[in-house]
Structure 1
Amino acid sequence: MSSATPLQNPPRLSALQVLACGAFIVTLSMGIRHGFGLWLQPITQAQGWTRETFSFALAIQNLSWGVFGIFAGMAADRFGAFRVLIGGAVAYALGLAGMALSTTSTTFALTTGVLIGAAQAGTTYAVIYGVIGRQIPAEKRSWAMGVAAAAGSFGQFLMVPVEGWLISQFGWQQALLFLGAAVLLIMPLALGLREPGFAGGAPAQREQTIAQALREAFRYRSFQLLMAGYFVCGFQVVFIGVHMPSYLKDNGLSPQVASYALALIGLFNVIGTYAAGVLGQRMAKRHILAFIYFARAAVIAIFLIAPLSPMSVYVFSAVMGLLWLSTIPPTNAVVAQIFGVAHMSMLGGFIFFSHQIGSFMGVWLGGVLYDQTGSYNIVWYLAIALGVFAGLVNLPVRETPIARAPQRVGAAA
């Protein structure tokens, strides 16, 4: 067999190797991005920019992540995750350096927004979950996805305090340059995710072409409902992650409270995402998703009604942490369960694109409406209403494998 011929029955990587390397990569990539809200006030004050300028760059970042996530997923499905991860790590380092050194709002939007967003597409869930889907047996897949999502949450718990410490000790610019060097650790970790089925970079054999897989998915009602729910997930978590530090400071609480709050979200999300992955092996994933979205709406409403204090912030952060990224394992497991794993990274990329449109709206509206009204109240209320909507649309999702007629690869639809 030549090196250009795909392996028919490639050996699997060990589950421990996949989970260890995948978890460390997600920990680093997600951990860094979760702390970006800590830079809002230092950067806007140093550069004389409005919060909308910073928020718009972060909104572009989330949209860029969603757009490039589709193509990163396609590339990972076709050529394996290794090459995508290497490119993503380099782009991440360059983007963080650009975030530190940009002197105009345009270059800030291009580096912090477009470049870091593209880097995140190549170093986070869509790519890692594709490897998990191909390398971990179906009976353990939801659990394994929970482990990977929990790693991203641990990254938030670990990295946000570190980022706050770096800013306080070295200044916001030097802190970003340190993180740019640290993110290159993804490159050696990617070696552990070189899949044997992609010998010579050749694609594995599939029953469907990309076009056939996309037509099938976008015509399927449950796929549309999952995308709608994921839009809400992005709106809520990115608005809270980016704007809550400033919301707390505006209300007289110290920056340390915000750092501890974001860290608590990350710590408790380790529990929440792992639990969601485990429960996904035992009960209907649509029920898990509906509960998460309904619970988020209730928790935000109680947070706004209760008197604001450090203790109320910590309780809110802990409970919200249980619900934070716990949507990820059941959502991706449903996609694999319905459509199979051959195009999982790509389909996961499209689902995540919807998430990132929501992220764009949440972070951007937070900045725009704050500048116009001097308050985040309208966006908080939107987050509550959207949580109820997302809970409702996930209830009718069908989780059974799709009935698929035999077809030749490349045949006309």
Structure 2
Amino acid sequence: MTALPSSTAPTHTLSMTQVLVCSAAIVTLSMGIRHGFGLWLQPVTMDRGWTRETFAFAIAIQNLTWGLVGPFAGMLADRLGAFRVLVIGAALYALGLILMAFASSGLAFTGSAGLLIGMAQAGTTYAIVYGVIGRNVATEKRSWAMGVTAAAGSFGQFLMVPLDSWLISSLGWQQALVLTGCLALAIVPLALGLKEPKATVRPGAVHQSIGNAVREAFGYRSFQLLMAGYFVCGFQVVFIAVHMPSYLKDHGLSPEVATVALALIGLFNVVGTYAAGTLGQRIAKSHLLAGIYALRSLAIVAFLLLPLTPMSVYMFSGAMGLLWLSTIPLTNAVVAQIFGVKHFSMLGGFVFLAHQIGSFLGVWLGGKLYDSTGSYDVVWWIAVALGVFAALINLPVRESAIERGAPAPAPAAA
């Protein structure tokens, strides 16, 4: 059997430069806003009189909602185009941030910061824009292009963290959220650059329904392993992003150290994601993924064992930044390489669901175990063990295109 092309293709492709610029700018905004949520933990909980678990639970619901809605957002983007999904996502993002500022109860805060923003992120981040990249960028440049977009998301983290910190200190946390909500609406005009032409059916190509695509992916061993690895990625990065500012303050370090640390993660992430996407064109992506997860565990162990100083925090942030989102272009490029691009946004959404289940557990357990033990130590060591697990299970992932049978021949003419 041979791998056959997907059944639809655009009548003409968008310019690669246009796709990369618009995708990068959208991810810069959507991921940059998300990356700064840890800076709101203490001002929100202190002003409202809530526990850290209340805030952490809302962000955990946000990550879980993002994952659960992701496959459906991807399905809509594959069928109706990314433009419509991005516009809806931007509107939900703005609404969620504004309502988050005025939520006066834990339930209302979970509804805005959790459900609304989670749905918004499902419609404005990687799975959606990567679908456009997969359909409009040549296969030999796909991993690189995804790395460029992920690097832009990293730059958004570097850019937004100091901005969020300045807005909170200058205007207060509520006004800062309102202004950030208005900024999210800038995704709408950028989405115009990803509006694709109508797809046409390729003669002789295999038609694959959504149900068949899902069954094929979930029955494929390498897809299962990629999902398990992505679960670990979500657990590690979201726990660190949300809880590290409070962890550092608990150990007597100033809030400025946390701000610089998160900014350094974003800055070094620009280098890490671009390098991962570029190396993915030359080295087996599964081996690169295994190396990334193993190095994360080593970095966390060193961070926990060394004396905690501003310099050790900055060194850890730089090391983690290089490894932070570098899994994203590699994992998504493998999915596109195995299954093709017809249902890529949807399948990418399912893989990301595993990531977000891990994110939910990482951020929620961080708050839960802190409230019960007074320390984050247990969660740090769980993150180390999971990193070793993810390194091992990515090694046997097969990257070659899945083989599908040829379509049944048409009945002979009388």
TM-score, normalized by length of structure 2? Answer: 0.95
Residues 335 and 348 of structure 1 are in contact (CA less than 8 Å); yes or no, is this contact kept in structure 2? yes
Matched, 1:161 2:194: no
Distance (whole Å) between structure 2 residues aligned to residue 167 and residue 98 of structure 1 = 16
Match of 1:371 in 2: 371
**What amino acid is the match of 2:308?**
L
- Listed one character per residue, the Cα deviations across residues 348-387 of structure 1 (whole Å, up to 9, x for unaligned) are 0000000000000000000000000000000000000000
- How far 1:7 moved relative to its partner? 8.4
Distance (whole Å) between structure 1 residues aligned to residue 241 and residue 149 of structure 2 = 20
Residues 10 and 199 of structure 2 are in contact (CA less than 8 Å); yes or no, is this contact kept in structure 1? no
> What is the alpha-carbon root mean square deviation over aligned residues?
1.6
Match of 2:242 in 1: 242
Q: Would the alpha carbon gap of residues 402 and 274 (structure 1) be closer, same or farther in structure 2, given more than 3 Å must change?
A: same
- How far 1:207 moved relative to its partner? 2.0
**What amino acid is the match of 2:355?**
H
Match of 1:134 in 2: 135
- How far 1:406 moved relative to its partner? 2.6
Distance (whole Å) between structure 2 residues aligned to residue 153 and residue 320 of structure 1 = 12
Match of 1:299 in 2: 299
SS of equivalent to 1:28: helix
Match of 1:14 in 2: 15
SS of equivalent to 2:74: helix
Distance (whole Å) between structure 2 residues aligned to residue 406 and residue 347 of structure 1 = 22
Structure 1: gaps spanning 5 or more residues: 1-5, 409-413
TM-score, normalized by length of structure 1? Answer: 0.95
Match of 1:185 in 2: 186
Match of 1:41 in 2: 42
Distance (whole Å) between structure 1 residues aligned to residue 9 and residue 72 of structure 2 = 25
- How far 1:53 moved relative to its partner? 0.3
Distance (whole Å) between structure 2 residues aligned to residue 290 and residue 405 of structure 1 = 32
Q: Would the alpha carbon gap of residues 198 and 175 (structure 1) be closer, same or farther in structure 2, given more than 3 Å must change?
A: farther
Match of 1:3 in 2: none
**What amino acid is the match of 1:369?**
L
Residues 80 and 198 of structure 1 are in contact (CA less than 8 Å); yes or no, is this contact kept in structure 2? no
Distance (whole Å) between structure 2 residues aligned to residue 219 and residue 388 of structure 1 = 25
Structure 1 outlier segments of 4+, above 4 Å: 6-9
SS of equivalent to 1:308: coil
Distance (whole Å) between structure 1 residues aligned to residue 395 and residue 9 of structure 2 = 39
SS of equivalent to 2:59: helix
- How far 1:197 moved relative to its partner? 2.6
Distance (whole Å) between structure 1 residues aligned to residue 35 and residue 83 of structure 2 = 24
Q: Would the alpha carbon gap of residues 165 and 206 (structure 1) be closer, same or farther in structure 2, given more than 3 Å must change?
A: farther
Distance (whole Å) between structure 2 residues aligned to residue 278 and residue 315 of structure 1 = 24
- Listed one character per residue, the Cα deviations across residues 251-291 of structure 1 (whole Å, up to 9, x for unaligned) are 00000000000000000000000000000000100000000
Match of 1:344 in 2: 344
Match of 2:63 in 1: 62
Residues 8 and 342 of structure 2 are in contact (CA less than 8 Å); yes or no, is this contact kept in structure 1? no
Residues 226 and 394 of structure 2 are in contact (CA less than 8 Å); yes or no, is this contact kept in structure 1? yes
Q: Would the alpha carbon gap of residues 404 and 244 (structure 1) be closer, same or farther in structure 2, given more than 3 Å must change?
A: same
Q: Would the alpha carbon gap of residues 252 and 9 (structure 1) be closer, same or farther in structure 2, given more than 3 Å must change?
A: closer
SS of equivalent to 2:265: helix
Where do residues 12-411 of structure 1 align in structure 2 (5 Å cutoff)? 12-197=13-198, 207-407=207-407
**What amino acid is the match of 1:88?**
G
Structure 2: gaps spanning 5 or more residues: 1-6, 409-414
SS of equivalent to 1:196: coil
Distance (whole Å) between structure 2 residues aligned to residue 243 and residue 212 of structure 1 = 40
Distance (whole Å) between structure 2 residues aligned to residue 406 and residue 117 of structure 1 = 40
Residues 99 and 108 of structure 1 are in contact (CA less than 8 Å); yes or no, is this contact kept in structure 2? yes
Distance (whole Å) between structure 2 residues aligned to residue 405 and residue 369 of structure 1 = 50
SS of equivalent to 1:107: helix
- Listed one character per residue, the Cα deviations across residues 220-252 of structure 1 (whole Å, up to 9, x for unaligned) are 000000000000000000000000000000000
- Listed one character per residue, the Cα deviations across residues 64-85 of structure 1 (whole Å, up to 9, x for unaligned) are 0001111000000001100000
- How far 1:313 moved relative to its partner? 0.3
Distance (whole Å) between structure 2 residues aligned to residue 254 and residue 226 of structure 1 = 38
Residues 150 and 328 of structure 2 are in contact (CA less than 8 Å); yes or no, is this contact kept in structure 1? yes
Deviates more, 1:7-16 or 1:284-293: 7-16
- How far 1:405 moved relative to its partner? 1.1
Residues 208 and 407 of structure 1 are in contact (CA less than 8 Å); yes or no, is this contact kept in structure 2? no
Q: How many pairs align?
A: 401
- Listed one character per residue, the Cα deviations across residues 141-195 of structure 1 (whole Å, up to 9, x for unaligned) are 0000000000100000000100000000000000000000011000000000000
> What is the aligned-residue identity percentage?
69
SS of equivalent to 2:325: coil
Distance (whole Å) between structure 1 residues aligned to residue 49 and residue 233 of structure 2 = 32
Match of 1:411 in 2: none
**What amino acid is the match of 1:358?**
G
Distance (whole Å) between structure 2 residues aligned to residue 219 and residue 120 of structure 1 = 27
Residues 7 and 197 of structure 1 are in contact (CA less than 8 Å); yes or no, is this contact kept in structure 2? no
- How far 1:407 moved relative to its partner? 4.2
**What amino acid is the match of 1:400?**
S
SS of equivalent to 1:258: helix
Distance (whole Å) between structure 2 residues aligned to residue 407 and residue 219 of structure 1 = 20
- How far 1:403 moved relative to its partner? 1.0
Residues 206 and 407 of structure 2 are in contact (CA less than 8 Å); yes or no, is this contact kept in structure 1? no
Distance (whole Å) between structure 2 residues aligned to residue 256 and residue 25 of structure 1 = 28
